[in-house]
Each structure stands twice: as structure tokens, then as C-alpha cells.
Structure 1
Amino acid sequence: MPDLSTFLQGLATAWKDAEVRPTHRTKPAAERWWRARPGPFEHAWQVVEGWLEAEPTTMAKALMDRLAHAVPDAYTSKAQLRTLQQRIKAWLAEKAKDLILGKLRNLAIARTAYSALVVRRSIAEAQKIKSERVATARQCT
């Protein structure tokens, strides 16, 4: 067993040994955006979404109970409650964005469509002018 003086002398150079600690771990470069497996609510999500639209304040646990009664073969263990909570949270966030930004999104879409229409009209007018110039040049020669 090393004595205290040897330990204290070793502290001065311990950093050179590059001790790896859990707090010094590198973080992954980017988060995964793809799903590793199909979602457990892939087939039942339309039903759950209908329930949420009818009663948006319903808790995920109550919806899981309803789902367990509706499809007992797939959801009796209720092991996917956390996944359902996450899906509902994402759904509510998207609906809140639609509620707040809905008019702005529609306005942006309308502006984009109007801009495309203006561009199409200006191209058509430019082609018309060009064809008139070509016709005039042919008549002159």
C-alpha cells in the first residue's frame, strides 16, 4: 500500500496519464433521425389521433387504457405508455404550432403561389414579346 507522500507526489503528474473519466466522454456527432424499428402505434395512431381531436386534454394513460380495451392483443401489457406519451406530446406541440402559426403558414403559402404566378406571367409575356419581335424581323427582311 503506497504511503501518503508518494500519492501526493504523484498528483503533480497525474494529468499527463490522460485519465479518462465519464464526464470527459465525447458526445455523438449528431442525433439519429431515423427509426430503428417500426412504431408500436403505427396502425392505431389514427384512432388515438381521433380521440385526441375529440378530447385534447385526455391523459396518455387513459388513452392507453382505451387502446388496451380496443386492441387487447397488442396493448394489454401497457409497456408502450412512455412511447404514447412522447407521441402525444409531439402531436400537441404540432397542433399548437398550427394554431399559432397557421395563418402565417397559409400566408406564406399564398405568397409563394402568387410569386410563382407572377413569374409564369412574366415568362409568358417575355415569350410573347420575343415572338412578336421575331415576326417583325421576318417581315422586314
Structure 2
Amino acid sequence: MMDETTAARTVRRAVDSCYARGLNLTPLRRRVLEVVASAPTPVSAIAIAERLSDPTRHLAPQAVYPTLDFLMEAALVRHVGLRKAYVCCDPQTAGDCAILLVCTACDCVSEIAAEPLRACINRTASLRRFVSGRRPMEIEGLCSACQG
């Protein structure tokens, strides 16, 4: 879970990263990133759309998906397939292959670099003439706080 200071720092870092790479972080992209960064657990596109809607303007989830695609391509957020939701990338592993550790008790997600493991999986898969995708691997279990 990110506190307000950490969420703000994450968004600032993302803005700087986009500027340095010449990426266009539109107001909607920034607002979506702010929602994901401030969420205590992975957040769905529907929840993002609801949080960005107001009484005078409803934002449909279909409007959020292209924004999330951009943020994933820019390595600013990751999709957590097990939860059908999104989390901010850890700046330490954003450019690397990642493993997402998903707590089944509290839904928190931790991210760890996994390039050596990915290389091993790719070598093993190639023996079966299989090519694995680049999507982060996800492992369910219990975080240290929920282990008691």
C-alpha cells in the first residue's frame, strides 16, 4: 500500500520518465496513474473509471483501457491477471522481467526482478519448442504481514 507521499513521488517519477523519453503523459493518463498509485491494492479498470467519473461526466471503462495500455507500454503500471487489476511498477524492476507476489489474504502485490528465472524458463520452454510471453509471472501466497 502506498501512502500519499509515496504515491505522489511515484507519479512525479513517472512524469519525469515520460518527459525524458518524449512520451506524452496526457491529463487523463496522469489521472489514471494517480488512481493506480494511490490505491491500497490492485485496482480494476472499472474502479478507475468510477473514481475518475463525477456527477456531470461519466467515464466508461472502455476509455480507461487505452490509457492503461499506454502506461503498461511505458513500464509505469503492470497488469495483475490474477486480480484483473493494475498496480504501479516498482521503479527498481520496471524495465526488467518481473514476478508479482500476490497476497491472497490482503491483496497486496510486491514486485521482484526475475530475469535469471525468466531465462531459465525460456531455455526449458525452448526444449519443448515453446516461446513464453513477456507478461509478468504471478505467484499467489501470503505476505509477511499476513503470515502472522
**TM-score, normalised via structure 1 length:** 0.31
Q: Which is bigger in relative contact order (C-alpha 8 A, separation at least 6)?
A: 2
Structure with greater strand percent: 2
Which of the two has greater helix per residue? 1
